Structure 1
Amino acid sequence: MKKRFFAATVVAAVAALALAGCSDPGAGGGNAAPADWPAQDTKLDGTTLTIWAAQNSNKVPDSVIKGFEAATGATVNVVTIPDPYEQSVQTKVATGDKPDLAFWQPTASQLTALNASTNLQSLDGAPFIDKYTPELKDITGILNGTRYAALITTPAVEGVYYNKDVFAKAGITKTPGNWDEFLADARQLKAAGVTPFFDFGGGTPWATQWWVSVQLADAAKDGLWERVNENKEKFTDPTIQGAIDTYQGLIQEGLFNANLKTATFDDQGPALLSGEAAMAVQVNSFFGQLQSLADTAELNEKIGFFPISPSGNVGTFIPDQSNALVAFKTGDAKREAAARQLLSYWLGDGYSDFVQAQKTVSLQSDVESSSDVPQALLDVSKSLGDSVGSMQALAVANPDLYLNLGDMIQGTKTPEQVAEATQSQFAELAKAIGASGF
């Protein structure tokens, strides 16, 4: 996760990418669709492709690479880019260093950060697009009408993981249907002597921002992030400031774990699984921790999931770099075509094996999800159909809201100072990429 000094690095890298391009980094023009999508088994003897990956995604392509190399004769090398992955990639690309493919967060802000129209191949017309389930086909990876990223796994969803046994013992027989019911259940749990929510503020408190984000789901559906992108609404205005204030109020009410200031991510999974706490607002990567602690049968018995929003059960999706791939314009037409071919294979002949190898949820209607996927993750995937994008998915820049919220938890920032600091950084980032209104 990011540290504080990364903000300056991001601004510098984004500015360098913008200067390196011949057009607005967010513009969709000047990027013609690829001339062809080669057959998946076209021979590629003597061709070497490079994929950049983060430390947590560098093993993801293994089954695909094995099958693709056998089918085509190509060689595919995975190069691990050190953390912080996104900033490291942006810096390398700004200097002209490009791979053939890279794992990348398929959001507007991150595609803009790569100067997509100049540096990335268009994936419009790809043979795998119509294979996606309808709710996932156009959910992400598109900037100004051009598709630049291929989704390979389901985007993460911000929502609530809960302990079924704890709910039952407290007399809660159904999951809450909106934010008010959610808080009513939390207070019922506290009255029963249970810690309602587990969060962490020690170290890098990246999950704090989910508490603000889920409260903004209704506003996001109503165009909140479009207004923020145009500088017509700010983090300091009532909607976002109000969500920050509410989060602080819940903390002050004592609805969180007593060690909130010092707890870490590693503490969260055991607390939920053991019943020490009833709920955690989290994303899909949290479930990986749970899967390291219990098998699928135990997780199906103990852990459930529900999305939450002010007026209902709307999930907030937040794609990360492990969910998608982008293909770069390298200037080598043969390798560019081979990169497109690898994507076709990944989401074509190689996809079923990939789903089983990764024990993941399928993105395609005609490919079954792995039988090893726990029900909670299947419910996460089902919630994507009517979900709404997070700040990371819809805003033109991604400020360090979570670090400012961490300061609030530690008592070094007020809720108002959290909003002010976040707005200031957002405006700086937006200006660096040439967003209008800044």
Structure 2
Amino acid sequence: MKRFLTATALLSALVLTACSDPGAGPAANAGPGEWPDPTAKLDGVELTIWAAQNSNTVPKEVVSAFEKATGASVKIDTIPDPYEQSIQTRVATGDLPDLAFWQPTASMLTAINAPSKLQSLEGAPWIDELDPALRDITGILDGTRYAALVTSPAVIGVYYNKKVFAEHGVTAPPANFAELVDLGRKLKGEGVTPFYEMGGDRWATQWAVQVQLADAVKDGFWEKLNEGKESFESPVMLDAIRTYQGMVKEGLYNDDIVTATFEDQGDALMSGKAAMVFQVNSFFGQLQAKADTAELNDTIGFFPISPSGHVGMVIPDQSNALVAFRTGDATREAAARQLLSFWMGQGYADFVADRQTVSLKSGVDSPAGVPQALLDVHASLPDSVGSMQALAVANPDLYINLADMLAGEMTPEEVASTTQDQFEQLAKAAGK
């Protein structure tokens, strides 16, 4: 269930894209096309949407409504994991869908060569209807909008078991990261596993490190990293890695940290075996498969955390957004824009109701059945800062290196230096 492309895979895809598409195709940054009426007739037009295994059901109902309204035929193709790598390989060889779910961060838009491969979504009719705090939070590369945000972006923070907190007299979330660690020590002393990590599946190991960077990110850490003025070996990053290792060595995590899985993590939090996890929205999706909204509201809470307070980190993933490809077929390109316009226009209220997800539009209320933890995640967005995936020009294998550290195969210093080397290689391959 790993959500993030490895640095090796991303580097290969970037090189493949560069080799196979040296300036070919339409001129970069071509202007957007017109936006058709959302229900204009499209009899005989066939569209294809690429989706991952965890996003292929997301468009089902809205696509069905669009087909009934327009006469178009829309096929949803499930692309096998690793999703991002599979798509980049196919796109680089000229195999293009009309639309695809895609992580709308600058680095991943760069990886897919957005200026030549994707339609510009500038001037989209739904943009002004989005919550102002979310309007420009993601989906933009070098000043051009390429992705349509359809669901609330993921946020890195702390999911906790409300019942465990109550049983141990914890009446409010800790005020900052230092107090969070102190809370972990209190719970450990009272016989509770404070934090649960999924070191076997690896991809979440980076969250406990990234939340410690929130204050530095406010001061421009990722921008400085992109400019070579900071690095993964800088004190702020290295100290965060060392703190994470220190928490593990202190026994604040599960004993099976090296082998535990994503599924184990969800079970541990729901059952109260562990009090807290550092995670993102996809984790809550797992919990929703285990319990109904009433049980989740009784059991699971969420709070963002940072060194100085409650600041989350935004990390949009591929299930949050769609991109429209420049296929060279003007009719299909216009129809793809029309589907996005329908989805985010008159079809949006039914979409969020069907998905029981948070609404991004000021004029559309979130459904009554959305769990409170997800509403709290969404409410944290306006004060959140960008994650490595959102703001760094390249995303190295920090999580893999951290998992190796948990297994005793790397020191914090080696994690930092290896991650920095990977970052430099990826940035160079991307032309940054």
TM-score, normalised to structure 1, is 0.95
Structure 2 residues not aligned, in runs of 5+: none
**Greater Cα shift, 98-107 or 292-301:** 292-301
- Which residue number in structure 1 is paired with residue 72 of structure 2? 74
**Conservation of the 8 A alpha-carbon contact between 2:162 and 2:301:** yes
- Within 5 Å, give how 1:367-386 maps onto structure 2: 367-386=364-383
Distance in 2 between residues matched to 1:352 and 1:146, nearest whole Å:
27
Q: Quick one: distance in 1 between partners of 2:338 and 2:171?
A: 50
2:11 corresponds in structure 1 to 11
For 1:45-81, what per-residue CA distance to the aligned partner results, in whole angstroms no more than 9, with x for missing partners? Answer: 1111111111111111101111111111111111111
> Counterparts of 2:266 and 2:37 in 1: how far apart (Å)?
44
Within the alignment, does 1:350 sit opposite 2:342 as a pair? no
Moved more, 305-314 or 6-15: 6-15
The offset of 1:300, in angstroms, is 0.8
1:100–1:335 contact (8 Å) kept in structure 2: yes
2:298 matched to 1:301?
Answer: yes
Q: Distance in 1 between matches of 2:3 and 2:137?
A: 29
> Alpha-carbon deviation of 1:6?
5.0
CA distance in 1, matches of 2:247, 2:379: 29
Query: Shift of the alpha carbon at 1:9?
Result: 3.3
Query: CA 1:5 to 1:129, structure 2 compared with 1: closer, same or farther past 3 Å?
Result: closer
Question: Quick one: distance in 2 between partners of 1:80 and 1:35?
Answer: 27
Q: 1:4 to 1:179 in 2, by over 3 A?
A: closer
Task: Tell me how far apart the structure 2 counterparts of residues 371 and 177 of structure 1 sit (CA, whole Å).
Answer: 29
Answer yes or no: is the 8 Å Cα contact 1:21–1:115 preserved in 2. Answer: no
| Alignment partner, residue 208 of structure 1 | 205
2:361 maps to a residue whose letter is Q
- 1:233 counterpart letter in structure 2: E
Residue 424 in structure 1 maps to residue 421 in structure 2: yes
* Aligned-pair CA distance for 1:367: 1.1
Pairwise CA distance, 1:160: 0.5
Distance 2:177 2:230 in 1: 23
Task: Quote the residue 1:118 is aligned against.
Answer: 116
**Equivalence for 1:148:** 146
Change (3 A) 1:5 1:175: closer
SS at match of 2:133: helix
* Deviation (angstroms), 1:13: 1.6
**Corresponding letter in the other structure for 2:298:** E
Q: How has the CA–CA distance of structure 1 residues 11 and 134 changed in structure 2, closer, same or farther, with 3 Å as cutoff? A: same
Deviation digits for residues 340-399 of structure 1 (CA, Å, limit 9, x no counterpart): 000000101111111111111111111111222110110000000110110001111111
Q: Report the AA paired with residue 358 of structure 1.
A: R
- CA 1:187/1:5 → structure 2, altered by over 3 Å: closer, same or farther? closer
The share of aligned pairs that are identical, in percent, is 65
- Aligned positions of 1:56-205 closer than 5 A: 56-202=54-200, 204-205=201-202
Distance 2:28 2:122 in 1: 14
Deviation at residue 10 of structure 1 after TM alignment = 2.1
Aligned to 2:45: 47
Deviation at 1:179, TM superposition (A): 1.0
C-alpha RMSD of matched pairs (Å): 1.8
Structure 1 residues 282 and 24, CA gap change in structure 2 (3 angstroms): farther
CA distance in 2, matches of 1:94, 1:264: 33
Change (3 A) 1:4 1:383: closer
Higher mean Cα deviation, 289-298 or 340-349?
289-298
CA contact (8 A) 1:24 1:434 kept: no
Separation of aligned partners in 1, 2:249 and 2:291: 33
> How far 1:2 sits from its partner (Å)?
5.6
1:330 aligns to what SS in structure 2?
coil
Number of equivalences = 431
What pairs up with 1:277-356 in 2 under 5 angstroms? 277-356=274-353
SS at match of 2:10: helix
Secondary structure, counterpart of 1:136 in structure 2: coil
- Map Cα deviations across residues 179-216 of structure 1 (whole Å, 9 max, x no partner): 121112111111211111111212x2111000111011
SS in 1 for 2:125: coil
Q: Is contact 2:192–2:274 with CA below 8 Å preserved after alignment? A: yes
Q: 2:410, 2:132 → 1: CA distance?
A: 43
Identify which range, 314-323 or 270-279, moves more after superposition.
270-279
Letter in 2 for 1:426: F
CA contact (8 A) 2:49 2:74 kept: yes
**How far 1:230 sits from its partner (Å)?**
1.7
Q: Give the gaps of 5 or more residues in structure 1.
A: none
Contact kept, 8 Å, 2:3 with 2:203, in 1: the verdict is no
CA contact (8 A) 1:18 1:24 kept: no
Residue 145 of structure 1: how far off its partner (Å): 0.6
What residue identity is the alignment partner of 2:374?
A: L
- The partner residue of 2:235 within 238, 249, 256 is 238
Could you tell me how far apart the structure 2 residues matched to 1:111 and 1:297 are? Answer: 38
Alpha carbons 2:5, 2:85 under 8 Å: kept: no
Deviation at 1:24, TM superposition (A): 12
In 1, are the aligned partners of 2:5 and 2:84 still within 8 Å (CA)? no
**Residue 5 to residue 386, structure 1, CA distance change in 2 (3 Å):** closer
Matched residue SS, 2:380: helix
Q: Which amino acid aligns with 1:400?
A: D
Q: Aligned partners of 1:225, 1:201: CA distance in 2, in Å?
A: 25
